[in-house]
Amino acid sequence: MKLDCRIIFSQHIVACQEKKSIYCGRNKKIQECSMQLDQNPFFRKPITSWYDSNFICWTIIVMMIFVFIFGMAGIIVGSSTEEFREYIWFPVFLSILSLFLVLKIAFRIKHRSKNI
């Protein structure tokens, strides 16, 4: 049996490797040794950062709903007044972005709640 031996740490500690077995020992007394693997590893819940916590996500959703209502009010006022019709793009843009953000964060919270 030919072993691939390497000196580790000092000249007296030798580790040799065959296909699947590892042999180690001191000087010329080489015996089989194995690393104990944890048969039941535990998995930790990932730590979310403060700006991605559930409280902050719900706070952003509530604030963006208020921004959406504000944008819709701007659309109503802008479309009813002749002087503001050329600026109606801004409340439309504001409403679309706030609605997009509400939906994106809601999907993130829903996906996160499935993984718990």
Q: Tens digit of pLDDT for each residue in 62-95?
A: 999 999 999 999 999 999 999 999 999 999 999 9
Rounded-to-integer distance, Cα 34 and Cα 73, Å: 71
Residue range 17-43: mean pLDDT, rounded? 53
How far is CA 63 from each of CA 29, 110, 114, rounded to the nearest angstrom?
Answer: 72, 19, 24
Whole-number pLDDT of residue 9: 47
Whole-number pLDDT of residue 47: 74
Whole-number pLDDT of residue 112: 83
Asked whether 7 and 13 are in contact (CB, 8 A), the reply is yes
Whole-number pLDDT of residue 52: 85
Rounded-to-integer distance, Cα 18 and Cα 93, Å: 67
Q: Residue 37 — very low, low, confident or very high, per pLDDT cuts 50/70/90?
A: low
Q: Residue 99 — very low, low, confident or very high, per pLDDT cuts 50/70/90?
A: very high
Tell me the two tokens of residue 5. 């031996």
Strand order in the sheet with 22-26: 4-7, 13-17, 22-26, 29-32
Please tell me which residue, 21 or 46, carries the higher pLDDT value. Answer: 46
Whole-number pLDDT of residue 42: 65
Query: Per DSSP, what are the bridge partners of residue 37?
Result: none
Rounded-to-integer distance, Cα 47 and Cα 49, Å: 7
Please tell me which residue, 17 or 44, carries the higher pLDDT value. Answer: 44
Total residues belonging to the chain = 116
